Amino acid sequence: MEKVVQQTDYDALSCRLAAISKGYLPSVAFQVQRCNYHGYKEMHMEYLHSLKSVSRRIHSKIFRAMQNSFPVMNYGTYLRTVSIDIQINDFLKSHSKFQNVQIINLGCGSDLRMIPIIKNFTNVTYIDIDYKDSIEMKRKILDQNRALKKALESDDDGETNRYKLISCDLNDEAQTVRTLSESTSSDSPTIVISECVLCYMDDHASKQLISVVLDIYKTGIWISYDPIGGSKFSDRFGIIMQSNLRESRHLEMPTLMIYNSKETYSSRFANCNVEIKDMWDIFENDIPKEEISRLKSLQFLDEVEELKIMQTHYVLLKASW
């Protein structure tokens, strides 16, 4: 199961690279008011280039997937990336006077948002956590690429005093407690990120993880992005998604139909102040009109109804405590 879940990161990376190559990312509308994303495309291309020397097989798979990305997928990647970035950057700006704010990216995979964040916010410590193989792959890529090492000001281990790569099986409660307690500060304002992480954990393990994090850190926010199965009787999105994943990947989403609505998904964070939206709501109400016009100019989108169906089945939750 671990290996199968790790493979999903390559899907996310290919989608991100496709959206970048088509101009969806970085978001011009948000970079001035929230964060400077200068060199965003270049750093992702550097990562892809170095990936080739680490694993030609994975590089070829990602490169092929990039070429087959449809507009509906690029819109989805844009919404996922930008909505999370907004939450992170707003929190960091509101905590600019704190000496140290930490970001803990659970199931980080190949995500590179630590680079612009470390560059733009000098009081941030960023911790990437994932399975051992995923962390070692990322460490090798960062270690052998001069441009990425320079951007992170990293040593030969790909780390700095502000950036850490840590391996941990988040399904193992004892290991997770030990890892977080030894590698992070319980007193610092904390941002926890989980992108399509909870959905691949069984209910017991995901509850344990949430409980552990909320017990360790005194104050912070949890930003979680996941699919939901749909709660209406006629809604077959989750059932079809599960069937496709089983047939094509031998992959399970154990809680997709348990936390199948915004209300049930929010219940996972019952002791927090929770804000939750589906991604279609974000697209319609939170993205400026000029930005939507820019997106429309990039590619012709004739699958608007398909986009709506997909994005109403993905949620972004912010839990504060």
Delineate the domains of the chain, giving CATH numbers in brackets: 2-320 (3.40.50.150)
Mean pLDDT score, 192-199: 98
Please report the sign of the dihedral spanned by the C-alpha atoms of residue 124, residue 201, residue 257, residue 241.
Answer: positive
pLDDT of 34 above 60: no
Return the H-helix or E-strand segment holding 276: strand 273-278
Indicate if the pLDDT at residue 197 is higher than 60. Answer: yes
Three-state DSSP string of 71-126: HHHHHHHHHHHHHHHHHHHHHHHHCCCCCCEEEEEECCCCCCCHHHHHHHCCCEEE
Consult the annotation and say whether 195 binds a ligand: yes
107 is in an annotated binding site: yes
The confidence score (pLDDT) of residue 86 equals: 92
247 annotated as belonging to a binding site for a ligand: no
d(CA 69, CA 75): 10
Is 172 marked as a binding-site residue? no
For residue 155, what pLDDT band results from cuts at 50, 70 and 90? low
Is 170 labeled as ligand-binding? yes
pLDDT at 191: 98
pLDDT at 32 over 50: no
Q: How confident is the model at residue 135 (pLDDT cuts 50, 70, 90)?
A: very high
Distance between CA atoms of 137 and 199, rounded to whole angstroms? 23
Name the DSSP letter for residue 144: H
User: Is residue 234 very low, low, confident or very high in pLDDT (cuts 50, 70, 90)?
Assistant: confident
82 CB neighbour count, 10 Å cutoff? 22
DSSP 8-state code for residue 270: T
Q: How far apart are CA 131 and CA 206, in angstroms?
A: 16
Q: Are 81 and 19 in contact (CB under 8 A)?
A: yes
